[in-house]
Every structure is written in C-alpha cells, then in structure tokens.
Amino acid sequence: MYSDATSFCTHLSVDELDLLSDGSKPVSLSRGDTLDNRELETWPILAISSGVIGMQHLLEDGRKTIAAFFMQGDIIDLREMQSHHRGQLIALKNAGVCRLAPQIFRQITASNPAAQNVIWSNLRQQTYRAMDHSADLAKKHALEKLASFIFECRNRQVMSFAKNIVVIPVRRVDLAEYLGMQPETVSRCFKDLEARGIIELQSISNIRVVQIPTLRRIANGDRYANGLVDDNDKGFKVLHFG
Amino acid sequence: MYSDATSFCTHLSVDELDLLSDGSKPVSLSRGDTLDNRELETWPILAISSGVIGMQHLLEDGRKTIAAFFMQGDIIDLREMQSHHRGQLIALKNAGVCRLAPQIFRQITASNPAAQNVIWSNLRQQTYRAMDHSADLAKKHALEKLASFIFECRNRQVMSFAKNIVVIPVRRVDLAEYLGMQPETVSRCFKDLEARGIIELQSISNIRVVQIPTLRRIANGDRYANGLVDDNDKGFKVLHFG
DNA sequence: CGGCAAGTTGAGCCAGGTCAACTCCGGTGG
DNA sequence: CCACCGGAGTTGACCTGGCTCAACTTGCCG
C-alpha cells in the first residue's frame, strides 16, 4: 500500500515505516461505506491514500450535508472530537485509508520533524479550506458556489492533464450536499455555465474551463460576470439587487 | 499582558516566556480594526488573549461573510495561507492579540511538548468547528442556524454564570454575516424563539435559554420541535413552513 | 436487452432576501 | 437636565432564487 505514497509517508524512514505498519491498519472502502465511530475511538487517525472521504452530517429529518471532502494525502485526526460533533465519515468513492494508533503517530511526529511539518501543514490547509468553504456557503448564490467549487477541485487535483481540465471527483448528489443545494440546482447551474460558453461538459465528471477569468469573477461574486447586469447599458448597471 | 494568560502561555516556562516576549509583539485592537496582510507575512502567528477576531471574506459587490470567530486562547497560524484565500482578520470587539515570529514559535513548539499539544489541539478544534459550521450553513434553516449558534456560544464561553445564560459576543450584523443571513432575519428568529418561550432576551447580548432540549432539537433540524409539523398531527400547532 | 441508479427538465411555491421606515439607546454638548 | 445625534436593531410589505415534487432521460452493469 505504500507504493501509493502520500506525502506523509514519503518523509518517513524505513524504520518508521516498519513501525507504522505494526501500529496501523489499512482499510479499503467502497462507495457508501461509513467508518464506525466506535472503532474510531481506538484508531482515531486516518491517512487517505486514494479515493474521496466525506464528513457527512445528518439532520433529524433526513437532510444531509457533507461538511468536507478528504482526498489523497489528507490526514484526518479525530482525537478530541467533541461529543456534540455529529459527523460521520463516509466513502464517496472507493477509497484506501490507513488507520493509525495514536501512540505510534505520536512517536513518529515526535522524532521526525519533517513528517510533523507535513501533518501540521495538512491540518492548516484543512482549516483554511473549511473556512473558505463556510464563506462560500454563507453568502454566495448557487452559480457562484459552483464556480468556487470548480476552482477548489482545480487547486486540489494532483496531476492535471491540462490546466483547464477539471475533474469533479464526486457524484452530483454529493456535490449538492457539499454546496448546500439540491441536485437539480447543481444540474441547472452546470447547464447555465455551459450555455454561456464558460465551461464545456466533456463528460459527467470532466469539465473544460473555457473562460477561466469569467469563472473566477463569478466565483468572487462579481455581478457583472455573473450575468446579473443590464445589458443595454454598457455593462456596469445593475438590475435588481442593491 | 501575560496576566491574561491563554492556555498556551500557561504551559510555558519562564525562559520561554522571556524568549516569547523578545520574539513577539502585543497589539491591541479596537472594533473594526483589520490586521494588515502585509505585516502578517512577517508575523503570521497570532495568539488571542481577549476580545473577538473574525475572519472576514469580501465579495466583489460588497457582500460580506465572517467565516470564523476567534476568541481567547485561539492561535491563528497563517503560515502557508494560500494566495487564493481571500480573508482578512478584523476585530469584532476590542481585542488583545499577540503576534509571534515563526522562528520563536517553532523553537518553543519543538522544545515544549505540552505547549505543542495545546496548539495542536486548538488547531484541531478550529477545524472541527469550521466543518460543523459549514454543515450548519449548508442545509439548515435560519431558525436552526441561530439555535446552533446559541449552542456554539454556550460551548465556547469560558466562565458561565449559569449554564443556561448565554452571551452573544458580537453585534447582530456580525452574527448575520457569520450565519449567512440578513440582520433582519436574525432579529426575526430571536423574536420567534422568544415568542415560543424557548429563550428570554434579558438584554441585547444576554439570553437565557428556558427550554434547552427544545432548542437542541431545533438546532438538530427536528421538524417537530421546529414547529414545522402538520397541526393535525399530534397537537402542536404550526403555521406556514413546509 | 432489461433494470436500476443517477442525472435532467419543468411548473409552482415559499423562506428568506430586500428596501424603506421606524424605534431604541448611549453619548455629547448646550 | 434635556435636545440632539448616529449607529444599531426592529418591523412591515413585497419579491425572487432556489427548493419541491413529479415525470422524464441517460448511462451503467449484468
């Protein structure tokens, strides 16, 4: 499993890898599998080697939300997760993860500053990402959220064939749960971007971004790029909205 | 300034505190002050000793969002903040912060495992909190988001006079930006909770939670507690809503 | 090819956004 | 002491983006 090395593992010595394989537990997950919270208490740390894991929250009446996506290289550290925190981890795509025991993890991070740095940095990235995502959800319109998401995918995808090809790694439903909208709305927004020539849907999961600057401006909430302006007035007049 | 010790500082030795006071820079902020991003490049780490700092995102057309609140004891570590990350830090209440130089910070965390643990744990809390907040924003209704927020405040407030008194530490406007709604809606939701006898508004910033379980159920999206049920269904009358 | 999951399209409607007017309250100065 | 001021919060009336529900199409897998 270490052939598919995460950036974390590439910083480990042979001894540490040995140590890790003793105090760790590789698991492979199919789409829809959830990670048992009970077992997470003894193996609270996960390193994702492939696939996509989502942190899913359920509301009483069945509404679902995916609060975050975890992908290759992410370390999920659930120690001290508050009891009032109501998320569960679910595989959104067949995934390979490695569960780590806390003491081994602590041992390695204490002795290997490089590995520790990678983990810290990853955790900070997760924090920034979650906050950016909060900002997207709070005040952006559906189209803007989708535009933001396309950039998020672009930033995260490891090897991009071409810079303007973006792979959507999850189903429409999951995307909708992540962006706080309905699958129908997601679909309509994709169509809208396509109709305006900003993106091309090469397949269900591959999109080609034709007009990157325009998409950027939509993502940033620019009403002009967003198509909300009055077109008979040179483009700086705003229709509705204040 | 160390009299108002954060949990971080309480784990430091006298030597380390000396070191810290050489490589740090206390700043005091009034409401509305923003932290200059240019200066944050050389002092990218902040320890909050009092007050409230918000991570504010601005959209092109003026919409504002507060992605996260930072309060006493929080460590904001902005190293490696991506360039595409568009937030700025703003004081939402007069605040005392301490800026740290990265090398000092690194030195202390390397030599003092207890301090390192505190920081690490704080960062994880921030991550969880941001993800929980994302989940709130994504699919909850206005009333549910407000209920969630009241619990978030309750969990974070250090010394609670009584368990059912919750202090709202920010203005209505900031609260609205944080919850992704309009100040008008925030106001209406507070009134609604009060009219239903779930909370009491003792003053603008002090609320007494009268029915904690009901509020909890609203926060969790329970339609029944939420007053979203059909009225021929067991007796709690409810008007509009789906 | 049949069967099911995933995605799309259309029509109608409502939660919350928007705008404008109003109240409340603490501070300031005459 | 009261009149005035400005920022913060509230209230009401209206409007719309996106949710809802239902029907349809597409694509995948055996």
Do residue B63 and residue A131 have CB atoms under 8 angstroms apart? no
CB-closest option in A67, A86, A124 to B134: A67
**Residue B39 CA to its chain's centroid (Å):** 24
* Chain B, nearest residue to A77 by Cα: B124
**Residue B221 CA to its chain's centroid (Å):** 21
Average pLDDT, chain A: 85
Highest mean pLDDT among A109-123, B21-35, B198-212: B198-212
pTM > 0.85: yes or no: yes
pLDDT at A100 over 60: yes
In tens, the pLDDT along A202-234 reads: 999 999 999 999 999 999 999 777 665 444 333
Residue B188 CB in 7 A reach of strand D: yes
More confident site: A15 or A47: A47
More confident site: B227 or B155: B155
Q: Note the CA–C1' distance, A186 to D22, in angstroms.
A: 18
Q: How far is Cα B97 from Cα B28, in angstroms, rounded to an integer?
A: 6
pLDDT band at A114 (very low <50, low <70, confident <90, very high): confident
Residue A6's pLDDT is 54
Taking residues A102-125, what's their average pLDDT? 88
Residue B206 CB in 7 A reach of strand D: no
pLDDT band at A236 (very low <50, low <70, confident <90, very high): very low
Residue A38's pLDDT is 73
Do residue A59 and residue B130 have CB atoms under 8 angstroms apart? no
* Chain B, nearest residue to A155 by Cα: B84
Q: Note the CA–C1' distance, B181 to C12, in angstroms.
A: 25
- Reading the block at residue A62, the tokens are 């069945």
Residue B176's pLDDT is 98
Residue type (1 letter), B158: V
Residue A1's pLDDT is 39
Q: How far is Cα A141 from Cα A143, in angstroms, rounded to an integer?
A: 6
Taking residues A110-128, what's their average pLDDT? 90
CB-CB neighbors (< 8 A) of A110 in chain B: 113
Residue A9's pLDDT is 66
Query: Which residue(s) pair with B199 in the sheet?
Result: B209
CA-closest candidate to residue B11, choices B108, B148, B90: B108
Q: How far is Cα B40 from Cα B43, in angstroms, rounded to an integer?
A: 5
pLDDT at B233 over 60: no
Residue A40's pLDDT is 76
CB-closest option in B67, B80, B221 to A59: B221
**Residue A123 CA to its chain's centroid (Å):** 13
Do residue A67 and residue B151 have CB atoms under 8 angstroms apart? no
pLDDT at B232 over 60: no
* Chain B, nearest residue to A70 by Cα: B131
Q: Note the CA–C1' distance, B35 to D8, in angstroms.
A: 24
- Reading the block at residue A96, the tokens are 């390979």
Q: Note the CA–C1' distance, B184 to C21, in angstroms.
A: 14
pLDDT at A3 over 50: no
Q: How far is Cα A86 from Cα A173, in angstroms, rounded to an integer?
A: 20
**DSSP run (H or E) holding B46:** strand B45-58
CA-closest candidate to residue A112, choices A9, A192, A38, A190: A9
From A32-41, A148-157, A214-223, B65-74, the region with the lowest mean pLDDT: A32-41
**Strands in A63-156 per DSSP E:** 64-70, 75-77, 87-100
More confident site: B72 or A22: B72
Do residue A217 and residue B60 have CB atoms under 8 angstroms apart? yes
In tens, the pLDDT along B5-39 reads: 456 666 666 777 676 777 788 889 999 999 877 77
Which bases of chain D come closer than 7 Å to a protein CB? 8-13, 15-22, 27
From A148-157, A158-167, A178-187, B214-223, the region with the lowest mean pLDDT: A158-167
Residue A133's pLDDT is 98
Q: How far is Cα B191 from Cα B175, in angstroms, rounded to an integer?
A: 15
Residue A24's pLDDT is 80
Taking residues B205-227, what's their average pLDDT? 90
Do residue B155 and residue A65 have CB atoms under 8 angstroms apart? no
Residue B180 CB in 7 A reach of strand D: no
pLDDT band at B42 (very low <50, low <70, confident <90, very high): confident
Of all residues in chain A, what percent carry a pLDDT higher than 70?
A: 82
Do residue B77 and residue A124 have CB atoms under 8 angstroms apart? yes
Do residue A131 and residue B68 have CB atoms under 8 angstroms apart? yes
pLDDT at A238 over 60: no
User: C-alpha angle with apex A80: B178 to A125, nearest 5 degrees?
Assistant: 55
CB-closest option in A60, A120, A133 to B134: A133
pLDDT at B198 over 90: yes
Q: How far is Cα A97 from Cα A9, in angstroms, rounded to an integer?
A: 13
Q: How far is Cα A80 from Cα A99, in angstroms, rounded to an integer?
A: 16
Q: Note the CA–C1' distance, B159 to C18, in angstroms.
A: 39
In tens, the pLDDT along B87-139 reads: 899 999 999 999 988 888 888 888 888 888 899 999 999 999 999 999 999 99
- Reading the block at residue B77, the tokens are 């570590």
More confident site: A6 or A30: A30
Taking residues A7-18, what's their average pLDDT? 68
pLDDT band at B64 (very low <50, low <70, confident <90, very high): very high
Residue B3's pLDDT is 40
pLDDT at A242 over 80: no
Average pLDDT, chain B: 85
In tens, the pLDDT along A165-197 reads: 999 999 999 999 999 999 999 999 999 999 999
Residue A182 CB in 7 A reach of strand D: yes
In tens, the pLDDT along B160-185 reads: 667 899 999 999 999 999 999 999 99
Residue B160's pLDDT is 65
